[in-house]
Structure 1
Amino acid sequence: MTELPELTYSDVKSAADRIAGHVRPVTVVPTDPGELGSGEVWFALEFLQHTGTFKARGAANFTAALLEAGAMPEAGVVIASGGNAGLACAWAAGRYGIRASVFVPVTAPEVKVAGLRALGAAVTQVGTEYAEALEASRTYAAETGAVQSHAYDHPLIAAGAGTLLTEIHAALGGGLDTVVVSVGGGGLFAGVAAAADHHGVRVVAVEPEHCRSLNAALEAGRVVDVPVDSVAADSLGARRVSAAALRWAQHADVRSVLVPDDAIVAARQALWDRRRLAVEHSAAAALAALRTGAYVPEPGEKVAVVLCGANTDPGDLTKPDKT
């Protein structure tokens, strides 16, 4: 397999130009003073994006770039996903009348599977983990000639995701010190880190304690396989992080932190109780880093917490506020 090129800020800038007008600009809102420590903390409401997550950015960039290059086959595009990347792929393909085939684990939330079908994707459920769906998608690509997209490990996907940081930085008037972002396979992280490095912004990479592909890779000094066991595994359940994510984690201003599942659940509940925001556990993981003290902002530090997705069943967000 050909090694993918290094992801750079230039790639993120090209993606921003390519997808301008096709994705929704991110909305940022302040938290109450002192709510999350002595820093100035903002929420980046990226769950308002098309298909409910940041993934639309990478999918739009991937699709547009291939069409520009005349490299989109008649068989269309195929992707393996826990759900969110598939939704974004199907959405982007549908905008251009391209066929999208999506492979998801049988454990994928029904709300995401239903969404895929509503977008016109051909959906195949296989295996219990993302890695199994990925292998099946590769077989399909080899048999049909469909171009293989990826949930996170592709420079066009990561570069598109990185446009989020540039928008946050601009929305906050250029005074952003730190961005806090959840990490699964590392596509969002790699793109954000590339853009953050250009703008002089620290990145806090947040993972569940038992779903820690980036944290483990940093410890080992190389990409390694990890067990996947978390309430946020449907979105953050990559068995291994991308090489691009590891490279940026090693060379940029990055802090890797872990949070327990109970803190993720509590953060998700708090967003509902206090703001009536129904987000995925993956989005709540980023907030959990500040609520648990896994990351403590300095006094006056301007921090953006990315709420990255909301493809969730809000039926369990009904308990009284106990926080």
Structure 2
Amino acid sequence: MKFSAAAVTLLGLGLILVNLTGFCYGALQVGFYKGKCLTADVETIVAGVVRTRFVTDQTIVAALLRLQFHDCFVKGCDASILLDGTSSEKTAPPNLSVRGYDIIDQAKAAVEKICPGVVSCADIIAIATRDAVSLSGGLKYSVQTGRRDGLISLASNVNLPSPSISVSQSVAAFAQKRLSPTDMVLLLGGHTVGITHCSFIKNRLYNFNNTGKPDPTMDTSLAKALRLRCPQNSNTDNTINLDQNTASSLTVDNSYYKQLLLKKGILQIDQALTLDPSTNATVVSFASGSKFPVQFGNAMVKLGAIEVITDPADRQGEIRRSCRATNKVSI
């Protein structure tokens, strides 16, 4: 697969992003809060909250990855998804099953006790997600901070890529956020710890493209097993692991890509990555090599830099006292 000059530059920064503090992506910076809270380290406080939850609930990893993605893809990484309200982003159909709000609240409360009015909710999302990835076997990439929280959260702004989208459509959607096709394949690799529901894949199991037959690109034994899990006329919407390797379905690793090569991708967009010439080689590379951990961290850093608010003079941003409401008015 050919990369643009920008993509090659980003991939080449892998070890720098992971190992150096003080590295900047735009106005964001690794170690932004160092020295700003005199009695404690912000990232250590957030890490403790995430670790406590992870001990009893490892599914929090997938929840936080999804939370950060859904926040950043709508008007940038400004924690707008956290705001409560009758027409806020939380109320949009794609966000009704988003989880993890409570752990962000807990981390924010812990930080505010020691360092009030300094740390943004948007930065807590990024830090908490990184820590969850690390706890579940992924690389502890250096997270960048310095974001401010947004003031607007509207359900009408939520326009997220569908799981049945084509690869070319997905590439276009990610490109609008200045993310490369490789970034897209990497971020979809977060599905190595995710789940979906039967309602999202029944068309692949029973009536793919209105043929009345299952999707021929799915492994036949998997299709049979999933039809048992997802009966055609059942009202129960069961869950399914997106990584069908049960030994690593809660681990951030490259197993997801290996499953795709076995025709065991669950969502249509997942399996399509192996079928499209523009992404097949990337999938094969991540499935067979050791590049995934570093490059996944790089992609998460790049995701976290989408349309951020960093200037204290920018009236579109603030440091919220509560992650669920703006300081002046509730949204």
- Which TM-score bucket, shorter chain as reference? under 0.3
Q: Whose strand fraction is larger, Structure 1's or Structure 2's?
A: 1
Give the TM-score of the pair, scaled to structure 2. Answer: 0.27
User: Of the two, which has the highest radius of gyration?
Assistant: 2
